Amino acid sequence: MTDYQAAQEMAELPEPEQLLALYRQLITIRYTEEQLARSHQMGLVHGACHTYVGEEAIAAGVCAHLRPEDAVFSTHRGHGHALAKGVSPREVVAELFGRATGCSQGRGGSMHLFKPEVGMMGTSGIVGPCILQATGAGYSFKLLKKDNVGVAFFGDGAVNNGAFHEGLNLASIWKLPVLFVCENNLYATEVPFAYAAGNPHVGNRGPAYGMESVTVDGNDVLAVFDAAGAAVERARSGEGPTLIECKTYRTRAHSEGMRDAGYRTQEEVDAWKARDPITHYRKWLLDNEEAGPETLSAIEAEIKEVVAEAAEFARNSPWPEPETVSEHIFNQG
């Protein structure tokens, strides 16, 4: 039995239709990212483009438990979080193309994906603050006596930032309904986490804050789903925050167009590609007769169409009108 199979035997499995919804979500993120990478090469994406290829299981597994009123705060690698939280491929692609039909009306791009109506409270180019913003959302839900949760997605590069210490400590002492989801993909740009951290086991840090903490295989969507389900339940019932370390890997360059050599070996990249979260989950669905090949192929064909249409829609969308440039700007003077 592989580690993957063993983890599934122990995990609380989702309902059959949810198993397929997870597959659909994984495929949506992967195909959208691949479309964005191609579009970047064609010069259609304006600004940086950090893809989430290889890490899709985390956004899919966590966001499957969230309601539109739950608040997600994300990072520079946030397309998958936005999609899993309910922003459509059309709105994501159009935003990266700088078009008025994008979720931020073409004003922000990849690192400013906002859609408060579905609880997507923003991707961000600054490493760390999402931890504090999610803590603040949790505090606000607690004050308002709502059973909603705040979720921070962040990389290993954020955990040695002061925001991590302040956010986790505050959430712990006030038992705030927050999930701190660390996507530990082993590198912050080109810096290995093992080099940058005195204690490279993020999951071990929770107890230092008096906080529930768990480490899971971030390439295993069912393991993430299981851990996030327990954490969301704990948060909604007033039992406080959880730190979830998801061990994963990005298989593309840090950012599209960047060189991807000199800091990791091809063998390492290939070993992680062999643990691709989508390939593994697809095989698991088939082996366990949760879905037949025709069903999965139909989902793949449908999402391929959805994403191609989204790119076409974005390409044909208008640019923001120049005369609207001063709209949505706060004047603090």
Ligand X SMILES: Cc1ncc(C[n+]2csc(CCOP(=O)(O)OP(=O)(O)O)c2C)c(N)n1
As a dihedral over the C-alpha atoms of residue 68, residue 73, residue 74, residue 79, rounded to 10 degrees, the angle is 20
Measured from the CB atom, is 132 or 310 closer to ligand X?
132
Instruction: Give the one residue of 97, 187, 225, 281 binding ligand X; rule: CB under 6 A.
Output: 187
Taking the CB of residue 126, how many other CB atoms lie within 10 A of it?
A: 12
User: Which residue, judged by CB position, is nearest to ligand X in the bound state?
Assistant: 155
Measured from the CB atom, is 32 or 105 closer to ligand X?
32
How many helices, marked H, and strands, marked E, lie in the chain? 12, 7
Part of the chain binding ligand X (CB under 6 A), chosen from 13-21, 119-127, 138-146, 280-288: 119-127
Judge contact between 154 and 128, C-beta under 8 A: yes
Tell whether residue 158 is a contact of ligand X (CB under 6 A).
yes
Minimum distance between the CB of residue 77 and ligand X, rounded to whole angstroms?
4
Tell whether residue 127 is a contact of ligand X (CB under 6 A).
yes
Judge contact between 110 and 123, C-beta under 8 A: yes
Minimum distance between the CB of residue 249 and ligand X, rounded to whole angstroms?
10
Beta bridge partners of 120: 72, 115
CA dist 217 and 234 (Å) reads: 21
Name the helix (H) or strand (E) containing 245: strand 242-247
CA dist 150 and 140 (Å) reads: 9
Measured from the CB atom, is 3 or 190 closer to ligand X?
190
Judge contact between 141 and 148, C-beta under 8 A: yes
Query: Mask of contacts with ligand X, 73-102, x by CB under 6 A?
Result: ---xx-------------------------
Minimum distance between the CB of residue 252 and ligand X, rounded to whole angstroms?
11
Instruction: Give the one residue of 185, 213, 215, 248 binding ligand X; rule: CB under 6 A.
Output: 185
Measured from the CB atom, is 77 or 234 closer to ligand X?
77
Minimum distance between the CB of residue 136 and ligand X, rounded to whole angstroms?
18
Tell whether residue 188 is a contact of ligand X (CB under 6 A).
yes
Part of the chain binding ligand X (CB under 6 A), chosen from 66-74, 153-161, 259-267, 284-292: 153-161
Instruction: Give the one residue of 47, 86, 125, 229 binding ligand X; rule: CB under 6 A.
Output: 125
Q: Which ranges constitute the DSSP H helices of 68-220?
A: 79-84, 89-96, 129-143, 162-173, 193-196
Amino acid at 278: I
Site size for ligand X, by CB under 6 A?
15
Task: Provide CB contacts within 8 A for 73, sequence distance 6+.
Answer: 121, 122, 124, 129, 130, 131, 133, 134, 137, 150, 151, 152, 153
Instruction: Give the one residue of 33, 91, 156, 217 binding ligand X; rule: CB under 6 A.
Output: 156
Contact residues for ligand X, defined by CB under 6 A: 76-77, 125-128, 155-158, 185, 187-189, 254
